[in-house]
Amino acid sequence: MTDAPHTHLDDQVAYVAAVQTALDATTAYYGAGDSSLDDDAYDRLVRGIEAYERAHPDQVLPDSPTGKVAGGAVEGDVPHTVPMLSLDNVFSAPDLTKWIAGLERRLARPVTAWSVEPKLDGLAIAARYRDGRLVQLVTRGDGTQGEDVTRATGTIVGLPDTLTEPVTIEIRGEVLMTNAQFEAACEKRLAHDGTTFANARNAAAGTLRAKDRKYVCELTFFGYSAMPLPANDPSGLAEQLRTLPHSQIMDLVAKLGVATTAGTTVAGIVAGTAEEIQARIEQIATLRSELPFAIDGIVIKADLATDQAEAGFGSRVPRWAIAYKLPATEKITKLKAVTWAVGRTGIIAPRAELEPVEIDGSTITFATLHNPSDITRRDLKIGDHVTVYKAGDVIPRVQAPVAHLRTGDEQDIVFPTACPNCRGEIDTSQERWRCLRGRACRAITSITYATGRDQLDIEGMGETRVVQLLNAGYIADFGDLFTLTREQLLSLDRMGETNTDKLLAAIEAAKSQPLSRVFAALGVRGTGRAMSRRIARHFGTMEAILAADAEAIQAVEGMGIEKATLMLAELTELRPLIAKLIAAGVNMTEPGATTATDGQSQSDTPAAELPLTGKSVVATGSMTGRLEALTRNQVNELIERAGGRSSSSVSARTALLVAGDNAGSKRAKAESLGVPIVTPEEFADLVSDFLL
């Protein structure tokens, strides 16, 4: 589309250079699986070339990638039975509406059925079966003929050697690497030659075409179309494939044992209107970050065979299908530096400083590197060109270096030999390094966090006051706050009688906080406020938590074996602090917990009868009415007391949105997904029995 983002080319010199860059990138991508450009940068460059050629038709080069499948950089020697074409793109709802109107003008009637399915970020191949047995795999190539890659048979999940019926058919689809397959492939390549793949798409391309690689990498296939092969056909299958709607053809493909997206959360659907199409686009886009594989858009097709036949084909694309492109979640940029920070529990975390790059509508200058082992595993160096990945609300992360762009000037990343904060010793026995002093290293941060509004909520206990208390030797951790005396507080600078009495009252009130707040204040690694609430409601008492083994902890929703094991180790370390809290009279039970024994809670209400049991609830905007005085964390606590699960983002799995004033984009997303929306007042009525 003419208004799509593109690279501006000033003159013929820039145009010629752009054509060569695009050709080099596609040759590298379809060759070894390496490219100097990420997918978004390549698309912008080609659209820039198209724009220049529209303005200067007399200067078009014969090698230009425009109007050619795979940019004209790929050749093959296996003819396709029917050309394997590309798709045109749109980038917004208005563009899509315009395209639909254009197709319906061409047909001189409305299109009554549309297929809407995810656009998988991989490589197109044709799988040919004769009498139900896989006999040949062919890449898309230049669209008219491709390369034989039958040698990859047996390494592609979802593409069986034998179909469930002995039919002769060609099934077309996308080969890709799932996230898990990509990680495994990187480990194998690193062990083999010390490098990793730049991203899953490049890894899949290189793997599919590799002829003499010493190691085998697994791939995944999803079918997206099927057509008859020349053969005697007493079954009538060929006629079915020519006349059935696309959606029914995909049902047939799945019944033959070939993987399709029908088994995923982004399965293809049939829509009847533009509004239904847009709603499904929003649903798939929302689920994107949760998928175990990459998608870069949504494909919209006229579902009926008659509509497709009448609309026909252009030289490069079918006129009855379009790709609605989603914002890029991955870009290539440069790793400028690595800094090391110490968290409140003593964890030493590396952070990447990047040359600024725009991803999914935001400018990224920093990204996570996880831990030293991850840096080593990915073979990262200062000065590397790296792929940076961001999806949804996930923190950007450095995925891998683009090894073929190295110049030799890159430098090794220097790991710390002492704690960056206190200069003490480091425990390097685990993947995540930690200062041996643990929480004591960042006592100020740890105590300030514990006394914060969403934990113990001790008003007046800010960072300045914590520093005073630490310097005076009155406290070593937040457990000591509960044994502070009036005389000790009065001895501090700028602590008069009024301030002292207020602070002592706030500390006394904190003793009555529910167990979930106390547990959150402990700052157990691998748990946050939401998980602390789940743990507290599951066990009911601190005594039960301390008595639990790893198996019992795993019964908490969202707790896997790794988190459970870490929690056990953390609780062992925290037992002296917990003992201080118990001795000081801090509450160690959770109101409303199903296992609480105080007899005064709402434990008499079975979980199945709670109004929000099994529901994911999002609260957004400014609360009003009976909820007006509640913080967002308190609203989330209310949701979970009523049996629900609080969430910060709206998705297709959201059961209810509580929309206050200025709800903004979350309300719009909920409306597009058909998620029920209530006001704070309506929600208060729903959970009135659980308001404290």
Rounded distance, CA 550 to CA 572, Å? 13
Nearest Cα to 207, choosing from 194, 180, 189, 192?
A: 189
Helices (H), 409-462: 443-450
Token pair in block for residue 511: 């003793």
Given the residues 98, 119, 255, 301, the one annotated as active site:
119
Give CB contacts under 8 A, 24+ apart, made by 597-605.
597/540, 597/541, 602/641, 602/689, 602/690, 603/540, 605/689
Cα 314–Cα 320–Cα 322 angle in degrees, nearest 5: 95
Helix, strand, coil shares of the chain as percentages rounded to 5?
40, 20, 40
Q: Cβ neighbours of residue 336 under 8 Å, at least 6 residues apart?
A: 353, 354, 355, 382, 383
Helices (H), 31-147: 39-55, 93-107
Say whether 188 is catalytic: no
Place of tokens 């003793």: 511
Beta bridge partners of 174: 124, 222
CB 170 within 8 A of CB 227: yes
Q: Cβ neighbours of residue 199 under 8 Å, at least 6 residues apart?
A: 38, 182, 330, 387, 389, 399, 400
Return the DSSP state at 613.
T
Coil/strand/helix, residue 182 = helix
Rounded distance, CA 583 to CA 597, Å? 20
Rounded distance, CA 614 to CA 65, Å? 52
Coil/strand/helix, residue 66 = coil
Core vs surface per residue 619-629: b (16+ CB within 10 A) or e: bbbebeeebee
Report how far apart, in Å, the C-alpha atoms of 337 and of each of 330, 390, 410 are. Answer: 20, 19, 11
Stated as kind and residue range, the H or E segment containing 656 is strand 656-659
- Largest Cα–Cα distance of the chain, in whole Å? 98
Q: What distance lies between CA 43 and its chain's CA centroid?
A: 22
Please, is 330 exposed, middle or buried when counting C-beta atoms within 10 Å of its C-beta (0-12, 13-18, 19+)?
A: buried
Within 10 angstroms of residue 544's Cβ, the number of other Cβ atoms is 21
Place of tokens 């050709």: 23
Rounded distance, CA 58 to CA 63, Å? 14
Question: Could you give the residue numbers annotated as active site?
Answer: 119
